[in-house]
Structure 1
Amino acid sequence: MSDILVVEDEAIIRTALKRLLERHHYQVAEAGSVSEACERHNLDNFDLIISDLRLPGEPGTELIRRAANTPVLIMTSYASLRSAVDSMKLGAVDYIAKPFDHDEMVETVQRIIASGSARKQQAAAPEQPAAKQAPQAIPDEDIRKQMGIIGGCDTMLTLFKRIRKVAPTDSTVLIQGESGTGKELVARAMHEQSQRAKAPLISVNCAAIPETLIESELFGHEKGSFTGATSNRTGLVEAADGGTLFLDEIGELPLEAQARLLRVLQEGEIRRVGSVQSQKVDVRLVAATHRDLKTMARQGLFREDLYYRLNVIELRLPPLRERGRDVMLIAEALLQRAADNMNMEGLHFSKDAEQAILAYSWPGNVRELENAIERSAILCDHNEITADLLGIELDAEIERASEAANALQTMQHDVTPGQEPAEDLSLEDYFQHFVLEHQDHMTETQLAHKLGISRKCLWERRQRLGIPRKKTAST
């Protein structure tokens, strides 16, 4: 059982985090400040320290210096994001934004502790003679372990080989795949297996930053460049200098910010907002999206020149529904993890559960599968997970698909004057045609009803096909 120290001055947050970690079978100690943590505990006895950035007295970054042998995870509010980047430069192992998502926190903690255990084992292993040292090439098996992705289908084997070849280079990489397929895991693995591994990996979710702040956040700003700019600020691109910049959901980047990013890729330099001076940066860019950037470029929603600059190396992560028997291998591994976390022996799937797992399309991919297994492991009796505990609505999914097909068949004959006939369109072609045609005057609920699908299904298909919602559309 791993030991974790939580340093947070707000008792409610500290208690909630302590309970969350204890539910996942970590031993948790707590403190309200840096001084209290140092007085009450030996910091070297912990496997991980989780600390708020802003604390009474000394800041949380002081723990990085005082606990030189223990990784420190910094928690920060959105407004302090740039300070968190500075924390990583001081030696923090990672940062996480508050309010944090519980699943994200647990995944981050698991990854940091697992990485620390691997380093300790490597340090304890006897050094190999020089003549017997392994070659510099990264074995596919090591890449799989690094990513935490299980897979033996042809598509995944090809992906592992590509990552092995691409990781040591400085080439720009575009990772494409649906939500929940593990795009950030791939980006992190590539960074940790590159020549830049000792420099920062700065991860930015472009969809999470307000459009009015995105340029300032990415490229920094000068004092007085806009209202509220009371001092010079370092941008996230500049903070990644010497390391890797991972831009998740890059399809959400506004066009003006896209132009600035293009300059980074073409010239290797940035210009802060409000500045007339450019400065050089050495950054490897890894971008990810679940949207079709090529289609967006044709629609004028994404710069075509930036798309081709990004698409030097393209890695496609297949959804679970295209990975055959891999889904069962992943399910077994997730079940074993759940069993270990809950100290349950003999936890297993029933035959009907296995059939349901293989039959379901898993629109949320590995994330949805993991949540279903964790939930069913908690609720199961006699250590057997049955299909009903998984919460998979196979009948509802089939019914929605049938309704959508019927709606298509009906609406293909419902052509208004001036509309092109839809008889030659596939279901997805018609979906895209219909949504773009009607979203200005129909709500999301009306669109979903007309198409014969749920609002959730409508949202998922928008994401998969790269169809943005109109800003003026009412929901």
Structure 2
Amino acid sequence: MLTVLLLDDDSISATHTADDLTAEGLKVIKASPFSAVGAIKSAEKVDVAILDPGRNETGASQLIKDLSPVPVLIHAKHASLRTAVDLMKAGAKDYWAKPASIREMLPAIRRCAESKAAVDTTPQAVEAFVGKSKGMRALMSRANKAAQASSTVLIIGETGTGKELVARHIHQSSKRTNKPLISVNCAAIPETLIESELFGYEKGAFTGANAQRVGLIEAADGGTLFLDEIGELPASAQARLLRFIQEGEIRRIGSVESSSVNVRLICATHRNLIELENTDAFRRDLFHRINVLRLELPPLRERGDDIQGLTNWLIRRVASRLEYAEKSLSDEARSALNAHDWPGNVRELEHTIERALVMSEGEEISLEDLSLPITSKRNSAMSAAGIQPVPVITPDTSHTPHEPGAEELSLEDYFQRFVLENQDAMNETELAQKLGISRKCLWERRQRFDLPRKRKRGAA
């Protein structure tokens, strides 16, 4: 259960807000904003604080710093743009004018609580993330050097390798550690909203802009902005981002004035930006601006020395989160983990451990509890370890996947067969819908399995 510290001198407003939060399943602690907040913080496990600063802006800014690392959300009766900007610069995570709906505030409350939980476990997480492999030791050595500078960092690695974890480590090891770290997933924000989210907007700038809004870049002033999946950034936002990097200035949508910001930029992507640059999907000048300090994360399949340490750490972490007892691994299960290719990298390993903890019934996690796909590579590794391999079932290619009697195919084999058999009759959208995936995911899998779509003769 999340615990919210509600700091509001207006007893009527505080009671209404507390009742609404309690109805959503949250624990609420009410207190006066400028009383013994430090004692409450020490005595209670507080996940998020909601503050009405009243007219004491200076005291509110100091209170935000005193409450750190507890994230603070502002719910102000006397709202103004200047106060919002100053408090966001002081470290507040979001700002609403009263009366704001709890339904509107709840996503931000949960998001801030999750971010705090990640910060709380960061030292331990980084320790497990470093591992013993040569590639990871070299990477973290470069990351520590990058943390001492304010230069732009570009982190490249496959999905699930832990790019955000490296970005968080760089921020927390830098001189900006007491300033905000704002993380933005460029692929998760609709193209029509990405510019307004990053740069903010003025009242009346477009339909629905009923009030001024501070952008995420401005909210990160003095701290770090992490742009995950920057390869998904639309062209219009790329141009505006380029000016921010070059001049250190931003201009809200609908404004005629620019404002200076001091933000350290960290970018990450799993895509090949050089190929995107050659197809004009990514600006060449922007690529060279962000490709200053380049860090490449090795995939988990190249980190064999780290799998055992990561597995032990993930068992402790997942068991604690699920409130399950920690369990050991059987020899067969450990050999299977070491032999697996891990296309989903560390994220796939974590999900495998979580599935095994939930499904296992004994005191030990068995090979069956892992539910890993059977491959010849895995069997070879198990044979070398003196463990009886599992027979590999080869699909009968004389049947289609839909015919009775067909052997069960792996997901990879089914995907390739389905695409090859249907791509002449379906377009990409129809193929993706039939497979239950997005067009982007379909494109990525085509690249992985080397299945480019052949253009029809005479097509433009």
TM-score of the pair, normalised by structure 2? 0.69
Change beyond 3 A, Cα 1:279–1:198? same
**Runs of 5+ consecutive residues of structure 2 not aligned to the other structure:** 7-16, 76-80, 96-103, 376-392, 394-407, 451-460
Q: C-alpha displacement at 1:306, in angstroms?
A: 0.9
Aligned partner (choices 405, 408, 431) of residue 443 of structure 1: 431
Report how far residue 332 of structure 1 moved: 1.4
- 1:84-163 aligned at under 5 Å gives the runs 89-91=89-91, 98-99=106-107, 108-114=115-121, 146=126, 148-163=128-143
What's 1:72 paired with? 70
Answer whether contact 1:268 1:281 (CA < 8 A) is retained: yes
Cα shift readout 1:275-297 (whole Å, capped 9, x = no counterpart): 22222222211011122222222
The alpha-carbon deviation at position 69 of structure 1 amounts to: 5.4
- In structure 1, the residue matched to 2:101 is none
Q: Which position in structure 1 is the counterpart of 2:453?
A: none
Residues 458, 398 of structure 1: alpha-carbon distance in 2 compared, 3 angstrom cutoff = farther
For 2:219, the equivalent position in structure 1 comes to 239
- Superposed, 1:307-326 pairs within 5 Å as 307-326=287-306
CA distance in 2, matches of 1:50, 1:154: 37
- 1:204 and 1:248 in contact (8 A); partners too: yes
* Stretch of structure 1 that moved more, 256-265 or 320-329: 320-329
- Aligned partner of 1:43 among 33, 40, 54: 40
Q: Which AA in structure 2 matches 1:211?
A: E
- Residue aligning to 1:198: 178
Q: Which residue of 2 aligns with 1:210?
A: 190
Deviation at 1:186, TM superposition (A): 0.8
Deviation per residue, 1:65-124 (Å, 9 max, x gap): 3993564235799xxxx999976544458999854798x788634434346xx8xxxxxx
1:253-264 map, 5 Å: 253-264=233-244
How far off is 1:256 after superposition?
0.5
Q: Provide the rounded CA distance (Å) in 2 between the counterparts of 1:458 and 1:232.
A: 34
Q: CA deviation at 1:299?
A: 2.1
For the aligned residue pairs, the C-alpha RMSD in angstroms reads 4.6
Which residue pairs with 1:352 in the alignment? 332
Q: State the 1:244 CA deviation.
A: 1.2
Residue of structure 1 aligned with 2:246, choices 252, 266, 270: 266
Aligned-residue identity in percent: 40
CA drift of 1:248 comes to 1.3
Task: Describe the SS at the equivalent of 2:148.
Answer: coil
Q: Which amino acid aligns with 2:441?
A: W
* Alpha-carbon distance change, 355 to 14 in structure 1, aligned in 2, over 3 angstroms: farther
Aligned to 2:341: 361
- Measure how far apart 1:392 and its partner are: 2.0
8 Å contact from structure 2 (residues 225, 264) kept in 1? yes
Structure 1 residues 264, 72: CA separation in 2 closer, same or farther (over 3 Å shift)? same
Q: CA deviation at 1:384?
A: 0.1
Indicate how the Cα distance of structure 1 residues 113 and 405 shifts in structure 2: closer, same or farther if over 3 A, else same. closer
| Distance of 1:324 and 1:463 partners within structure 2 | 24
Is the contact between residue 6 and residue 14 of structure 1 (CA under 8 Å) also seen in structure 2? Answer: no
| Structure 2 counterpart of 1:176 | 156
State the shift of 1:153 in Å: 1.6
For residue 359 of structure 2, the aligned residue among 371, 379, 383 is 379
Query: Counterparts of 2:109 and 2:305 in 1: how far apart (Å)?
Result: 30
Aligned residues: 393
Q: Is the 8 A contact 1:321 1:362 kept in 2?
A: yes
Structure 1 gaps of 5+ residues are 19-29, 119-143, 415-433, 449-453, 468-475
Cα distance per residue 1:127-157 (max 9 Å; x no partner): xxxxxxxxxxxxxxxxx86465142222212
Pair 211,49 (structure 1): closer, same or farther in 2 beyond 3 Å: same
TM-score (normalizing by structure 1): 0.67
On the 8 A contact 1:173/1:285 being kept in 2, the answer is yes
The equivalent residue for 2:274 is 294
Determine helix, strand or coil for the equivalent of 2:161: coil
Aligned equivalents of 1:86, 1:386: Cα separation in 2 = 55
Q: Hey, what does 1:459 align to over in structure 2?
A: 441
1:346–1:371 CA distance, 2 compared to 1 (3 A): closer
